[in-house]
Every structure is written in structure tokens, then in C-alpha cells.
Amino acid sequence: MTWPTSCGLVCILTPALAGSPAVAQPGTAQVTAYLALLQRYESGDYEGAARTALTMKPAAAHELGRLVIIEDIKDQMVLLQRLKAATPDVPIGSRLNQLRQERLRRLKLTLLVHTEAALRVTAQGPLGDQLTLARGWVTFLRSLEQDEWEGQERFVRDWYLVVASHLQAADQPRYLKAHVTSGLELFRGDPELLLARGSISEGEADVAIVDRSLSAEVYTSGLMQRWRNFMSAAGRDYQEAARNQADLHEATLRWGRINRHLGDRRAARRALGQVAASDAPTPLKYLARIFLGELSELEQQPADAVAEYQAALALVPSAQAPMLALSRLCDAAADDPCASQWLQRSFDATRRNRVDPWWQYQRGQAWMLEGRLTRLRAEGLGK
């Protein structure tokens, strides 16, 4: 479908522009520029479109979106109805459907542009203007009639996942929790949203009790119970997520870690071993090996722990965690040269872009942001 010409847009938008409240009314040139912005994004210039959106005042961007998504389409539909009333024999059904499709197309493009703009803002308030704009258009999308809403569930669900990853990366737990709760109200039992909610609870547990080895000396029974409640809540979400989607390996991995902390080592080993032997992404298999190594240490099986840490290092050769663990095990065995060798290897691997998936573990599914965004783009653009 082609974009409206400037002339057609002028004729259609003039009545709507005359009575628009709240903000200074955009001119026709601004409306045309906003449509061009959407087309720019659609053509694949995601970065350029997002950067341009960031230069716009939020109120003006909202008003332009309202004009091109709602008022323009509504006015064209009114003209068709008037044509039908004046000339009953003229068929308008096909054109009405085209207008609905165009409205949906513009709506999704607008949502994508402002979401992408939000992802590029590093210093902002809790949610930021761009994300607030995007959230408003999600609400509008959900308010469409049933026949228009059907088929858009996956797009909206994946928008929730993209924003969840963004809020995790931006370390916004309060707003992340509200966002994920909202998503689960709409998509009950969704495995990836359950995974996100579990990650929030697990993070709260890890913050509540920093060093469990000092629990008896430092932490009160009330704090320990709070820690256990967070861990248990996370475990329930992970278990349900894995049950609803068997190949959601991160849920199984985190479920294994929860079991280790709560004392069910057999269940922990089973879950972690399942991930280690699966076709999970390398970062998850690496973490499974790290957690299995820690479990072997708890069970006083140093040889097994060494084997697990070596396996983890084979997956991510520059990672710090297994090197430090191997140094610690050498030190416990009174092998000072071995301990020093692993420490030196870790020092030698230090560089700006060093990779260790363990460092990102507390950020939940932030590591999935790029993949989720790629999927959202494809769905929004119909690719």
C-alpha cells in the first residue's frame, strides 16, 4: 500500500487540525514529515528514525501520531460513508478494510519507532518519554475491535519482552516489576514473562542476603525467611515457565540454581545437567557448568568441581569466574603455584570487552534484548 500524497493528506487532515486541543497544532509539513519518518523506519533505517524521534518534543510526537493513526483514517472512513450514502451502488467494503490495515500499519510503525528511541536513551527518568509514548500506543492497539486485534497478540507480547529486557539492562527493578505484571495480566502463563518475573524475585533474594555463609551471624531469622520467600517465588515461576515451554533453557537453569540454594541438590543437579547437555545457547551452558562446579564444591567433590569449571572455561575461554574458582580450589589443596597460575591467567585476560555471562546473570534477560528486538521488528514490519 502506498503512502498518501501530500495533497490528499492536506485535504483529509484540515478538518481535524482545526479543532485539535492541548498542544500547538502541527502543520501539514510536520504531519508529512512524521509519515516520512515512519516510512524511513519501514525502509530499514532503524537508527536514523529512532534518532529523529528523539529530537521531537513528546507532546508533539503524540499529537502527530494521533493525527496520522486516528484522525486521518477516521476522516477517510467518514468520506467513504458519505459517498456510500450519496451513491448506494458504490462498493466501499474493500476500501474500508484497506484503511483499517493502513491504520494498523501506521500504529505498529509508530510503536516501533518510539520503542527504538527509548532503547537509545541512557540517561532518563524511570520510564522515559519515548517509552511512555510507546506504551500509550500499545494500549490503543489493544483497544481496537476484535477482528483488528486478532493476530496482533504475539506482536504485543513480544513488545512486552523487549521492554522487559530493556528495563533489566537499565536496572529499573521497580518499573520492571510493574511492566511484567501488566504483561502477565494480558498473557497469563506466558513462559518468558514468567521467566522475567522469576528473575526479579531471584534478584531480590540475592540482594537481601549477600553472603549466606554468614547468615547465622549477620542476618536475622526474619531476613532469612524473606530471602527464602523470594527464592521460592522465583522457583515457582521458573518451574511453571519450563513446564509451559520445555526448550526455555534459562528457566531450567535458574530453577536448578534455586534448588541448590534451597537445599535440594539432587533436583539442582538434574536441572543443571539437563541444560549443560542441551542445545542451549553457549552462555546458558557455561552458567550450568559454573553452577554444577559450585554444587560439587558444596558436596566436597573437588575433582568434579575442577572438571566443571574447566568445561565452563572451554565454552567461554576469557571468563573470570571459572579461573578464580580453579585458583580457589588449588589454594584449598595447598597448591600455591597452581593457584597463582590461574590468578595470573585471569589478570592476563583482563580487557575492556572481556566476556563472562555470570556478570550479566543478575540482569535477567537483558542479554536477549537484541534477539527480541529483531523478532519484534520482523513482526511489526510483516517480514
pLDDT in tens, the chain (383 residues): 333 333 333 333 333 333 333 334 567 899 999 999 999 999 999 999 999 999 999 999 999 999 999 999 999 989 988 888 888 888 888 899 999 999 999 999 999 999 999 998 865 555 688 999 999 999 999 988 887 888 899 999 999 999 999 999 998 888 999 999 999 999 999 999 999 999 999 999 998 876 665 655 666 778 888 899 999 999 999 999 999 999 999 999 999 999 999 999 999 999 999 999 999 999 999 999 999 999 999 999 999 999 999 999 999 999 999 999 999 999 999 999 999 999 999 999 998 889 999 999 999 999 999 999 999 999 999 98
Cell numbers linked to 299: 558436596
* First-residue to last-residue Cα distance in the chain: 15
Cell numbers linked to 234: 522465583
Distance of alpha carbon 110 from alpha carbon 123, whole angstroms: 22
Distance of alpha carbon 366 from alpha carbon 253, whole angstroms: 16
Model pLDDT, residue 144: 86
Cβ neighbours of residue 92 under 8 Å, at least 6 residues apart?
A: 80, 81, 83, 84
Cell numbers linked to 196: 522475567
61, 117 in Cβ contact below 8 A? no
- Count Cβ atoms within 10 A of the Cβ of residue 19 and give its class: 0-12 exposed, 13-18 middle, 19 or more buried: exposed
Model pLDDT, residue 377: 97
> Residue 148's closest CA among 98, 186, 109, 187?
98
Distance of alpha carbon 80 from alpha carbon 93, whole angstroms: 9
Distance of alpha carbon 254 from alpha carbon 274, whole angstroms: 12
> Residue 1's closest CA among 95, 72, 140?
95
Model pLDDT, residue 214: 60
195, 148 in Cβ contact below 8 A? no
Q: For residue 240, which phi and psi values (nearest 5 degrees)?
A: -70, -40
Count helices and strands in the chain by DSSP H and E runs:
21, 0
> Residue 136's closest CA among 239, 63, 210?
63
